[in-house]
Structure 1
Amino acid sequence: MKLLRYGEHGAEKPGLLDNAGLLRDLSGHVDDITGDVLDDATLDRLRALGPSELPIVEGEQRIGACVGNIGKFLCIGLNYSDHAAETGAAIPEHPILFFKANSAIVGAYDDVVMPRGSTHTDWEIELGVVIGKTAKYVAEAEALDHVAGYCIVNDVSERHFQNNLTGQWTKGKSCDTFGPTGPWLVTRDEVGDPQNLDMALDVNGERRQTGNTSTMIFTVAQIIAHLSTLFTLHPGDVITTGTPPGVALGMKPEPVFLKKGDVMDLTIEGLGHQRQRVDIDA
């Protein structure tokens, strides 16, 4: 099942993408796609609906972030062995955790707007994990039972802000629009094994990142189990799980960062497509 949110920013409505690629309105059944409706019982109720019984949404629609009212936006850094190698970083002993401000969250096709003074804005395609059931001290073997579904996240990063402004990575990760999420949430029953998904990101039609979630250092289950020993994961929390190689920061001989007018295209197997045009704050 592919759940999504459509409409103007801040006024999105819940929707479902049917097998024919038609957008169906879910507002007669749930108020929004938020943590409140991501438990297994509610997802089963929505899954039981006949898509043909749901109204078709006509016309061009903006697609918002696939989850509304995200609680925690949690990010795992350096979690692909081949990405760690390209940056010259050591393999971490435990998942590296940082937070991304929720104000960075936008839809999959919204513009990415570089902040004033940005010269090192970079791309990062990532598998997003959406929590559906409260997780506290969860065993690795049971961790995936706490997942509602998966989505694409572009963990856009301003590397100068991240590495040179003193403090945590959050400074370079949390700029407005730096968290495109979606276009839809694919429920876990349709995804199967989250550790075998092909990923790709293009900039201006040229391939920059090619990877597979099989090269994660810490699996989705391991990440959930680890985080749940530190704090409670709640329905509607989103975890981005790291990026494969091919980011601008790792380019040789010199990085080529994003500039105004660039276009990023992202795909993850079974999870759809994102596209963002790059602009810059006046």
Structure 2
Amino acid sequence: MKKARVAYDGIIHEASEASDGRLQLDDGRYVASDEVVWLPPVIPGTIFALGLNYADHASELAFQAPKEPLVFLKGPNTLIGHNSSTRRPGDVSYMHYECELAVVIGKSGKDIAKEEAYDYVAGYSVANDYAFRDYLENYYRPNLRVKNRDGCTPLGPWLVDASDVADPMNLAITTYVNGVKTQEGNTRDMIFTIADLISYLSSFLTLQAGDLILTGTPHGTVDTAVGDEVVTEIEGIGRLKNTVSGDEAYGRETTSTTKATIER
């Protein structure tokens, strides 16, 4: 089952996908998908994000693949929904998308064995974890400004029940910028699997229902410009659309860096 959180008629609703493509709200009404404001499909607890969890992406950034999971935390302020926009600050020269499978934890657990890891998964979603590479210090210390800007991580549109995903470790990952395919990979190429990550994290902290694990992105990240439409898609999970906006959309003067980006 595909579930979503949307705002409609001034109220936040739980919603599901109807057979005719519309959304069925929790009050019984049916609405078109373009009549709602899409919100992140879950209210997150702790957000864990993986760096360099695909060897080809590590090579793309000229880093060695890590020997153990490279995990950092993200604030809830980073999450926004489907059909939203993300600001590209004028002082940034390289901002790239990262299409990632998001794992949603369904119940609390500590010291979880790999063989039992999937018992703790509620479902899956699509994340686009934008990175502002200007601020990257090194592979083991991603600066806060790289991954924790407001609205820098679209999530959604759906939370897909774990029972509806036969093999989350064999899903095609694709990104399109303005309709052109720029990224293509598969979750089977993760260095650390979903089971690895759940077992690793729960070995030193208690995972809670609602926690998110963003599992990393494969090779194929490219710079995005103001006005670009970025669609990140994961097989069987959904297509997440986002638009890159400039400083002027936020009431700030466009800088020379932003103008140069627009004109590229």
Q: Normalising TM by the smaller chain, what interval?
A: 0.7 to 0.9
Q: Can you list the C-alpha shifts for 1:173-194, whole angstroms capped at 9, x where unaligned? A: 0111111000010000111111
Q: Determine whether 1:101 maps to 2:67.
A: no
Please show how residues 33-182 of structure 1 align to structure 2 within 5 Å: 54-57=28-31, 60-68=35-43, 70-163=44-137, 168-182=142-156
Contact 1:162/1:173 (<8 A) preserved: no
> In structure 2, what is the Cα distance between the partners aligned to 1:12 and 1:112?
21
Contact 1:75/1:97 (<8 A) preserved: yes
> In structure 1, what is the Cα distance between the partners aligned to 2:142 and 2:238?
31
Contact 1:152/1:271 (<8 A) preserved: yes
Query: Which residue of the partner structure matches residue 245 of structure 1?
Result: 219
Q: Determine whether 1:264 maps to 2:230.
A: yes
CA offset at residue 199 of structure 1? 0.7
Secondary structure of the residue aligned to 2:31 is coil
Secondary structure of the residue aligned to 1:117 is coil
* Identical-residue share of aligned pairs (%): 37
Secondary structure of the residue aligned to 2:150 is coil
Query: Which residue of the partner structure matches residue 253 of structure 1?
Result: none
Secondary structure of the residue aligned to 1:230 is coil
Q: Determine whether 1:16 maps to 2:31.
A: no
> In structure 2, what is the Cα distance between the partners aligned to 1:210 and 1:117?
29
CA offset at residue 143 of structure 1? 0.5
Secondary structure of the residue aligned to 2:203 is helix
> In structure 2, what is the Cα distance between the partners aligned to 1:11 and 1:115?
31
Contact 1:112/1:177 (<8 A) preserved: yes
Please show how residues 19-30 of structure 1 align to structure 2 within 5 Å: 19-26=19-26
> In structure 2, what is the Cα distance between the partners aligned to 1:231 and 1:114?
34
CA offset at residue 20 of structure 1? 3.4
- Any runs of at least 4 consecutive aligned residues in structure 1 with deviations exceeding 4 A, and if so which? none
Q: TM-score, normalised by structure 2?
A: 0.87
Contact 1:98/1:169 (<8 A) preserved: no
Query: Which residue of the partner structure matches residue 243 of structure 2?
Result: 277
Q: Please, which runs of 5 or more residues in structure 2 have no aligned partner? A: 253-264
CA offset at residue 161 of structure 1? 2.0
RMSD over aligned Cα, in angstroms?
1.9
Residue type at the aligned position of 1:263: E
Residue type at the aligned position of 1:60: E
> In structure 2, what is the Cα distance between the partners aligned to 1:162 and 1:72?
22
Contact 1:14/1:25 (<8 A) preserved: yes
One of 172, 187, 205 as aligned partner of 1:231: 205
> In structure 1, what is the Cα distance between the partners aligned to 2:234 and 2:20?
19
> In structure 1, what is the Cα distance between the partners aligned to 2:144 and 2:59?
22
Q: TM-score, normalised by structure 1?
A: 0.82
C-alpha change, 1:170 and 1:144, in structure 2 (3 Å) is farther
Number of residue pairs aligned between Structure 1 and Structure 2: 245
